[in-house]
């Protein structure tokens, strides 16, 4: 027997005699109410829930009859009353509690079925300030928390998906619930109110431009339990926060196996990158492997963009993630299915392309309905031992920066376009990052190295391998633009890029040795542009 207090043990089985039903989401509530009525349970209810149950022909008592007080203030005040909370919080085996119930005419409530005003949905839909505030539930969370605290005697159900389990539990236990069952539902109830309050507090922080609030919580609802995490010995779940941002969390899976932990992580990175290239500027494709781009390109058609992205590193693209910035058409789909691919994500997909992809039943196909706005605000978070690191999303855009030419030679118009393209990609490459680009196509990518010169060398080697694979006369780094997401601390990284064939460079600047790096660029006739904005990515 578990202990309720120092004196009173919790009963294993509790008979459900009175149930309070008060729900915003009425999915399954009539079926549940009928099952409870068949068990002889007295039904209490409020507002719209009461009307729905009564309309179904069931005997149901309005809470106002219990409280002796009508709903007031447009329903804002209806359950915040001792007649309700006394019935939820009373310890049935405590003589003082029982006496207080008898003295004040309070009836015990054994089952609470409660879900909350749709604050998350209203927030995601972009409701205005007054509408969003009006959808903050007060009485619901109070009743949930009261019921969950007193789970020794009260069964609290907050999720319609738990109704069948409740009905089964009552049927197999002669109208009773067991303590272990009540414990699990109480734990879920507190998690629900925590996630609800998190959504509200984070909305307030956004609405009031409070970037670093004193208290910060991250909440979500389980979308699916994963087979495992990054590795098979790790368990994992995919939770969604309710943020209305096109991407893997909000996409529709049209076909394919369940997304893995790594699939979701990589697909998110791929689609955030492709969001840098708006559809009105032309087709673009990004191919991601292990959270880093291995090829990114634009083109006159989506098929061309895909083939150009693939050409950058066709070896690494095997088993990768493909992100597209516009409708996936049949011509592009025909090319993609020639290569083993884990995931395709696009804003839209044509019916013809769907039919082609369907021939590869394990290939996941995700449709988002739009692209993420790279300028929009938001937060990202990661855990550390004993803490949580939270920051605003990196929404810096090359188009918004005041670029400064620091060398004797300015980049040509063509070089400048390639510099901007390379810098957009470098923003999404793990640091240290070096990206070569030429004519709207990545030529070589060096990612995640401990020194910048190693990233420059690796990117150059990748370009040489691509040239051999494609049968080109020389690597695409010859005459390319190169981007570094952070400053060159020494001239050696720049010299490595120049030796690979780069003729123009873009970097944030800000090193103690900027003058040395600029002098090396001038010595080789290379144009260099400073952005003033770093894009570290770890």
Q: What is the pLDDT of residue 529?
A: 98
Find, among 275, 271, 311, 303, the residue nearest to 288 by Cα. Answer: 271
Question: Cα(367)–Cα(248) distance, rounded to whole angstroms?
Answer: 9
Contact 245, 225 (CB under 8 A): no
Looking at every residue in the chain, the average pLDDT score rounds to 93
Q: Is the pLDDT of residue 292 over 80?
A: yes
Residue with the bigger pLDDT between 503 and 105: it is: 503
Contact 470, 309 (CB under 8 A): no
Q: Residue 432: is the preceding peptide bond cis (ω within 30°)?
A: yes
Q: What is the pLDDT of residue 521?
A: 97
Residues 6+ apart with CB under 8 A from 433: 426, 445, 446, 447, 448, 455, 483, 484, 485, 486, 535, 537
* Chain Cα centroid distance, residue 451: 31
Q: Cα separations (Å) of 294 from 384, 476, 485?
A: 28, 14, 16
Residue 149 among the catalytic residues? yes
Contact 344, 498 (CB under 8 A): no
Read off φ and ψ for residue 61, nearest 5 degrees: -100, 130
Long-range contacts of 236-244 (CB under 8 A, 24+ apart): 236/261, 238/264, 241/199, 242/120, 242/121, 242/123, 242/124, 242/199, 243/124, 243/378, 244/124, 244/125, 244/126
Which residue has 């972009």 as its token pair? 126
pLDDT in tens, 7-38: 778 888 999 999 999 999 999 999 999 999 99
Residue with the bigger pLDDT between 47 and 314: it is: 314
Task: Compute the average pLDDT of residues 424-448.
Answer: 96
Q: Is the pLDDT of residue 75 over 70?
A: no
Question: Cα(527)–Cα(523) distance, rounded to whole angstroms?
Answer: 10
pLDDT in tens, 322-380: 999 999 999 999 999 999 999 999 999 999 999 999 999 999 999 999 999 999 988 89
Entry pTM:
0.85
Task: Compute the average pLDDT of residues 225-244.
Answer: 93
Find, among 227, 226, 225, 113, the residue nearest to 161 by Cα. Answer: 113
Q: Is the pLDDT of residue 87 over 90?
A: no
pLDDT in tens, 174-222: 999 999 999 999 999 999 999 999 999 999 998 998 989 998 888 888 9
Token readout for 87 is 């019935």
Task: Compute the average pLDDT of residues 60-84.
Answer: 77
State the pLDDT confidence band at 74, using cuts at 50, 70 and 90.
Answer: confident
Task: Compute the average pLDDT of residues 470-496.
Answer: 95
Question: Cα(333)–Cα(311) distance, rounded to whole angstroms?
Answer: 17
Read off φ and ψ for residue 153, nearest 5 degrees: -125, -20
Token readout for 22 is 């008060």
Find, among 328, 292, 287, the residue nearest to 311 by Cα. Answer: 287
State the pLDDT confidence band at 78, using cuts at 50, 70 and 90.
Answer: low
Q: Among residues 188, 257, 290, 354, which one is catalytic?
A: 290
Question: Cα(510)–Cα(534) distance, rounded to whole angstroms?
Answer: 9
Task: Compute the average pLDDT of residues 401-413.
Answer: 96
Contact 4, 152 (CB under 8 A): yes
Q: Among residues 34, 81, 149, 354, which one is catalytic?
A: 149
Instruction: Determine whether 327 is exposed, middle or buried from the number of CB atoms within 10 Å of its CB (0-12, 13-18, 19+).
Output: middle
Residue 290 among the catalytic residues? yes
- What is the bridge-based pairing of β-strands 502-507 and 480-484? parallel
pLDDT in tens, 303-318: 999 999 999 999 999 9
Q: Is the pLDDT of residue 81 over 90?
A: no
Q: Is the pLDDT of residue 73 over 80?
A: no
Which residue has 């640091």 as its token pair? 431
């Amino acid at each position: 027997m578990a202990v309720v207090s120092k004196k009173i043990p919790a009963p294993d089985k509790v008979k459900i005699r009175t149930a309070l039903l008060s729900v915003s989401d009425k999915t399954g509530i009539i079926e549940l109410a009928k099952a409870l009525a068949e068990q002889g349970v007295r039904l209490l209810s409020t507002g719209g829930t009461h009307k729905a149950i009564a309309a179904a022909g069931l005997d149901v008592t309005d809470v106002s009859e219990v409280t002796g007080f009508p709903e007031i203030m447009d329903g804002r005040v209806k359950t915040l009353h001792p007649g309700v909370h006394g019935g939820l919080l009373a310890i049935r085996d405590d003589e003082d509690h029982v006496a207080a119930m008898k003295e004040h005419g309070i009836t015990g409530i054994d089952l609470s079925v409660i879900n909350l005003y749709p604050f998350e949905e209203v927030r995601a839909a972009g409701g205005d300030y007054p509408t969003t505030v009006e959808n903050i539930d007060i009485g619901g969370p109070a009743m949930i928390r009261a019921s969950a605290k007193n789970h020794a005697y009260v069964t609290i159900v907050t999720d319609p998906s738990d109704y069948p389990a409740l009905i089964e539990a009552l049927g197999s236990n002669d109208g009773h619930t067991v303590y272990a069952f009540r414990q699990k539902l109480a734990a879920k109830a507190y998690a629900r109110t925590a996630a609800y309050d998190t959504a509200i507090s984070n909305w307030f922080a956004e609405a009031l431009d409070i970037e670093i609030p004193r208290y910060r919580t991250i909440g979500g609802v389980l979308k699916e339990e994963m087979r495992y995490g990054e590795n098979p010995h790790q368990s994992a779940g995919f939770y969604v926060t309710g943020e209305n941002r096109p991407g893997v969390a909000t996409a529709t899976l049209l076909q394919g196996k369940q997304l893995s932990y790594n699939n979701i992580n990589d697909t998110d990175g791929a689609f955030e990158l492709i969001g840098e290239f708006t559809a009105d500027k032309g087709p673009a494709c990004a191919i991601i492997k292990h959270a880093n781009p291995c090829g990114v390109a634009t083109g006159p058609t989506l098929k061309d963009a895909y083939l150009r992205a693939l050409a950058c590193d066709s070896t690494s693209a095997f088993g990768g993630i493909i992100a597209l910035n516009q409708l996936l058409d049949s011509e592009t789909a025909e090319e993609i299915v020639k290569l083993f691919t884990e995931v395709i994500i696009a804003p839209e997909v044509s019916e013809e392309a769907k039919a082609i992809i369907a021939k590869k039943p394990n290939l996941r196909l995700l449709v988002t309905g739009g692209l993420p706005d790279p300028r929009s605000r938001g937060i990202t978070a990661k855990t550390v031992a004993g803490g949580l690191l939270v920051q605003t999303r990196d929404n810096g855009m090359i188009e918004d920066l005041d670029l400064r030419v620091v060398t004797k030679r300015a980049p040509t118009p063509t070089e400048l376009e390639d510099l901007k393209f390379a810098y957009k990609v470098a923003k999404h490459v793990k640091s240290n990052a070096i990206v070569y680009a030429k004519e709207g196509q990545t030529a070589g990518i060096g990612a995640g190295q401990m020194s910048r010169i190693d990233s420059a060398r690796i990117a150059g080697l990748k370009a040489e391998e691509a040239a051999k694979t494609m049968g080109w006369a020389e690597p695409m780094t010859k005459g390319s633009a190169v981007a570094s997401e952070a400053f060159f601390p020494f001239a050696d990284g720049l010299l490595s890029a120049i030796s690979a064939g780069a003729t123009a460079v873009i970097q944030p600047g800000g090193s103690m040795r900027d003058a040395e790096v600029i002098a090396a660029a001038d010595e080789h006739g290379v144009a260099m542009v400073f952005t003033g904005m770093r894009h570290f990515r770890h």
